[in-house]
Each structure stands twice: as C-alpha cells, then as structure tokens.
A and B are shown apart, each in its own frame.
Chain A
C-alpha cells in the first residue's frame, strides 16, 4: 500500500493530493498540466513536495513534519518516462542491466518483456516502441516496490502503441506491486487499470472504479481539455454529467459500420470504431440521452432497447428525477422529468425498457484486446513464460 499525501506549488496552481494505491494498476487521468507527471516525480523522489508525506507500507519515503526523506536511489522505484531514456553507447542488455540492484537475475524480465530478441541490437536501431519495452525491462530488472508509468505511449504510432499496450496488459498483472499509470487516453486507462484517479489542476476530481471515474467526465468533453475551465462542471449541473458504462463483448461487425455488442443475454448496436470481434469493450451512455418505456422500443430511429428493472429513483431539485435501472448486472442511469415518472408510473422494482440511439454511445474503449487474447492462447510457450515470471517477481 502506497500512501501519498502531498502538496506542491506549481506554476499557476497547487498540486494537493491525498491518495492510497493498492497492488495493481491505477490509472491517473487528466488534461495536460494537471499535475500527473509531477505527482509521479514526487513519488519517485526526483522532486520534493513542499509538504506532506509519502509512505510505502511502514517505510517513510518522505515526511515534512519528521523532516525525513529517502533518496531517490533507495526508494527502489521502477519508472517508464514519456520518452525512452536509454544510453545509446551501450547495447540493449547493458541498458537493462542498469536497472539491476543487488545482482539479482533478470533473465525472466528480459523474456517477459519481449526484449530477448533485441538484446544484440544497437539501441539506436530500435523503434520507439521497442525502446520503451527495454525501459520496461530496466524498470522491472530492479525488482521494484512501486512501478511508475508516465505516459509511455507518447510519440508512438498506432501499431507500436497497440503492441506496447498488449505487452503491458500481459506483463503488469504478473507484477504484484502498486503500479501508477499516467495517461490522458481513456482507452489506454480502461485497458490496463481497474482503479482510476481523475486529476485536474492539481486536485483529485474523483477516484475509484471505471464507472465512478470515467462515467463522471462531462459529455463531449475531451479528457485532454477537461478541467481547463477549472472543475469540469458546476455542482448543480452534476446530473447532466452523469453517465453509465456498459461493458460487453463484440460479437459481430456489420458492413454498415455498426458493431453488435453482447451485454449479458441482450445486445446493443454501437459505432464499430476500432473494434474487432472478440474485444471486450466499455460503452458510455449519458443519462440525459436515455428514454424509458414500459414497452420495448420498436420501429423507432433509436436502435437499442434493453430490458431492465428500476432500482432507485432520486428526486433532483430541478423537477427532474435520476432513475437507476439494473440491466444484466450493470447499472444504467436515466434522467427524466418528474412528470414522466408520474405519467408512466415508474417505481422501484418495476420492469422497464432502456432505449437509446447508437450515436449516443459517445465513448467506446477496448478493455481487452481480442487479438492479444488469441495470440497468448495460441502460443502456449509464452503463457508458460508468464507463469514462471509470475513466480519470480514476488
């Protein structure tokens, strides 16, 4: 458990963050200049907080009150930076070795990270994605206690990005330490992390599960720009910014550009985007875009109609009601007028149909890549590599 409670004055705003990170990947999302990278620099020890404390378990890394500070070299942190920081005058293997502490073996890491075929290549001949893989190997070679990933996809083309993403998706679950992953891309975050922190102008806007954090980012607001106007939205507009994440699996791609996504026993049509059949995906649906009906939606322009049951009704103070509907184990929020609730006699426990247009699904993220899943299945050797590495890395 990594506990961070720090403050630091930056140009224009103050970073003021109090967070706990468990074992596993936490994505830290937010616009450029939100303080994400600074937070990682404070944790690594490259920069010093103005005040506060950083602890890993019982070990104090920084405490302004006790006047304690553990040097960056002794925190045993692994780090990937926005751009790979390799030494060009050394070969790949020596670059990995730079990360080794206490003469531990690192052959398992070289295999796991896919660096093995690269070890004889000169560093300068590597692609950006390959260089970041070497950085990952260096970071893991020191058997780190915390892994910090600072936008490692910066500057990579789509193919390299996808490759590195798949690699991280395989490697990170085998490393049983807190992993902090800074990004401003939803899809990367959703793919690698199960915990999310939304940071804006130095403040934590929200933290928790995908639904809690990603669902709350305002409609039409690109996360790269979210927070530029201060907090995302005024508090009284919170209901307008409520959304639900629906998770499902892509079962078919239609020539018309739609993807059929299986959600429990039902299905949803969504814009196909970059989906492949077999991908597990998140779809985001805004509460204000949802129509409720006692009857299934037929002969409507809205293509989607999911059967569910009303769980809660929350009266808002502007004459609107937030209705939460359980659909196939997911919770979908719908914003309706109070009068509508009366007219349709909507009440707790009552079955209802959730109707929405495919175009209302404004955000879609691949959580698990079908291609990656198949590759790892068809190559049992690599899977066994993963298992053996799993045993070596704590």
Chain B
C-alpha cells in the first residue's frame, strides 16, 4: 500500500481546477446562447448540455475513450497536434470538466434569463451592442450565479470517479485523484486508515469550496445593500 498523499492531493486540485476552468469557458457562451437566442434545435443543445448530469459516468467515460482515445477520431487528431489526453491528467480534467458543465450552465442561464429585458432595450437605444450590454448589464447581475455554478462544478469535478477511471484509468502520479485513491485504498487489506485520511481531505476541500462561494455571494450582497440596493 503506497499512496503519496501530497501528490494525490495536487493531482486532484489540478484536475478539478483545470476541469472547472475549461467548463466555465464553455459554459458562459453556451448559457448566453441558451438564454438570449431562439433558434431551431435549441431544445437539443439544451438537452446535450444536461447529458453528462444524467448519463451513467461509466458511459460518459467510455464515450470519451472512444472519441479521444489513441485510436479515436478526435484523439488521433489532437495527438498529431501534440496533445495527449488518454491516460493523462489532462484527460482526467476533460472528464471532470464535462460532468461539471451542466452544473455551471444551469444557474448561469437562469440568472441571465432573470435580467430585465427592459434594461437591455434602454441600453440598445443608448447605442450598446451585445458585448457591451453583457459586460455592463449582465455580468454584474449574474456573477453570483456564475460563482455558485463554478463552485458546484469544482466540487463535482473533485469527486468525479466513473468517467475518469474508464477514460484515463488509475495511474499513480498521473491520473490517480483523491476519489481514485480512496478506491485503491479500499481494495487493499491494510488501507482503512488511509481511506479515513483521504475522505477527511475530500470533505475538507468540498466544505472549503462551498464555504468560499457562500462567502463571496454574501459579500456581494452586503456590498449591494451598503449601496442602498434593495
């Protein structure tokens, strides 16, 4: 039984943060499109973004393996560009980001839809285009929704197990995250103590993440109230 705690923790944080950041970059435009545009097939896009939430993680992992594996269409394409995903921590980040995606898109879309369209009209008349209105009007109003989504996404990415082990396996020092380490420790006879340590670390990080997001949102609310915004 040989599990390097520090290494596992660092891999986990790296995978979850990279997954969350990547998912955030995709989630913002997708949520924007879903909230602001009407187009044929919108329901389909909406459904696809929810899929990672409802599909069995093993299936998600298998789909990733087929698409991004060494012989998959996207995998060989990325490989020729020097990007390797299969059995690498980057692949774990992809899996983690994918399952986090719906959790970031959903609250952001709801927040964007709640922005008063009358305010958008007033800014249009004043000469503001979509991007300017997004920066000046949407972003200041929806960022608590974005932060909440990112934190949920981070927590979800941190705990991701099924898709990760299917796609990138359980390689010490590369893809063995906290969740995979707990699984490995459980397999061994004398691993009970290390399971306890790993579980405690996982819970601590999750609590910290959720606490941080609550604190940020509360601070934002307080600042708004200090400015007299009811």
A67→B154 CA distance, assembly (Å): 50
Stretch of B4-12, B40-48, B63-71, B115-123 with 4 or more beta carbons under 8 angstroms from chain A: B115-123
Chain A contacts of B141 at CB under 8 A?
89
> Is the C-beta of A101 less than 8 angstroms from some C-beta in chain B?
yes
* A101 pairs with B127, CB closer than 8 A: yes
Q: How far is the CA of A85 from the CA of B123 in the complex (A)?
A: 9
Report yes or no: A87 in contact with B125, Cβ–Cβ below 8 A: no
Known contacts A98-B123, A98-B126, then 5 further A-B pairs from the complex at CB < 8 Å, ordered by chain A residue? A45-B125, A46-B121, A77-B125, A85-B122, A89-B141
* Interchain CB contact under 8 A, B228 and A98: no
Report how many residues on chain A are interfacial, defined by Cβ distance under 8 Å. Answer: 26
B82 within 8 Å of A (CB atoms): no
By secondary structure, the B interface counts as helix
Across the interface, do A81 and B122 meet the contact criterion of CB distance under 8 Å? yes
Complex Cα–Cα for A142 and B128 (A): 12
Residue interface mask A67-111, B partner, CB < 8 A = 1: 000001110111101010101111000000011010000000000
Cα(A76)–Cα(B122), bound, Å: 12
A124 at the interface (CB under 8 A from B): yes
In the complex, whether B36 has a CB less than 8 A from a CB of chain A is: no
Within 8 A of B (CB), among A18-58: 44-46
Which B residues are in CB contact (< 8 Å) with A125?
Answer: 228
Query: Judging by beta carbons under 8 Å apart, are B128 and A98 in contact?
Result: yes
A225 to B144, CA, bound (A): 46
Give Cα A83 to B123, complex, Å: 14
Bound complex: CA A134 to CA B124 (Å): 17
Bound complex: CA A87 to CA B140 (Å):
10
Known contacts: A87-B119, A87-B137. The answer to whether A46 contacts B125 by CB under 8 A is yes
C-alpha gap A142/B124 in the complex (Å): 12
Considering only CB atoms, which chain A residue lies closest to B130 in the complex? A73
A85 to B119, CA, bound (A): 6
**Chain B residues touching A, range:** 20 to 34
B171: min CB distance to chain A, Å: 47
Chain B, residue nearest A138 (CB): B126
With CB as the reference atom, state the residue of chain A lying closest to B224: A89
For chain A residues 195-251, which have a beta carbon within 8 Å of chain B? none
Residue of A nearest to B223 (CB): A89
Q: Which residues of B contact A77 (CB under 8 A)?
A: 125
Instruction: Collect the chain B residues with CB atoms within 8 Å of residue A83's CB.
Output: 118
Closest to B227 in A: A122
Q: Are A79 and B125 in contact (CB under 8 A)?
A: yes
Q: Are B125 and A88 in contact (CB under 8 A)?
A: no
Within 8 A of A (CB), among B77-113: none
The distance from the CB of B82 to the nearest CB of chain A, in whole angstroms, is: 43
Which A residues are in CB contact (< 8 Å) with B125? 44-46, 72-73, 77-79
**CB < 8 Å: which of B118, B127, B140, B230 contacts A73?**
B127
In the complex, the answer to whether B118 meets A81 with C-beta atoms within 8 Å is: yes
B128 touches A73 (CB 8 A): yes
Known contacts being A85-B121, A89-B141, is A142 close to B229, with CB within 8 Å? no
Task: Decide: B129 and A73 in contact? CB cutoff 8 A.
Answer: yes
Complex CA–CA separation, A364 to B72 (angstroms): 83
By beta carbon, the residue of chain A nearest B226 is A122
Decide yes or no: A73 and B136 within 8 Å by CB, A88-B229, A89-B141, A122-B227 being known contacts: no
B121 touches A98 (CB 8 A): no
- Nearest chain A residue, comparing its CB with the CB of B120: A85
Instruction: Please name all residues of chain B whose beta carbon is closer than 8 Å to the beta carbon of A87 when the two chains form the complex.
Output: 119, 136-137, 140
Q: What A residues does B140 contact at CB under 8 A?
A: 87, 89-90
> With A85-B119, A89-B140 in contact, do A124 and B126 touch (Cβ < 8 Å)?
no
- Residues from chain B with a CB closer than 8 A to the CB of A101 are 126-127
Contacts of A124 in B (CB 8 A): 227-230
Residue of A nearest to B121 (CB): A46
Chain A residues with CB below 8 A from B229, complex form:
88-89, 122-124
- As a 0/1 sequence over residues 116 to 154 of chain A, the CB contacts with chain B under 8 angstroms (1 = contact) are 000000111100000000000010001000000000000
Expressed in whole angstroms, the minimum distance between the Cβ of A127 and any Cβ of chain B is: 13
Evaluate contact between B124 and A98: CB separation under 8 angstroms.
no
Q: Please, which residues of chain A bring their CB within 8 A of the CB of B137?
A: 87
Q: Which residue of B lies closest to A83 (CB)?
A: B118
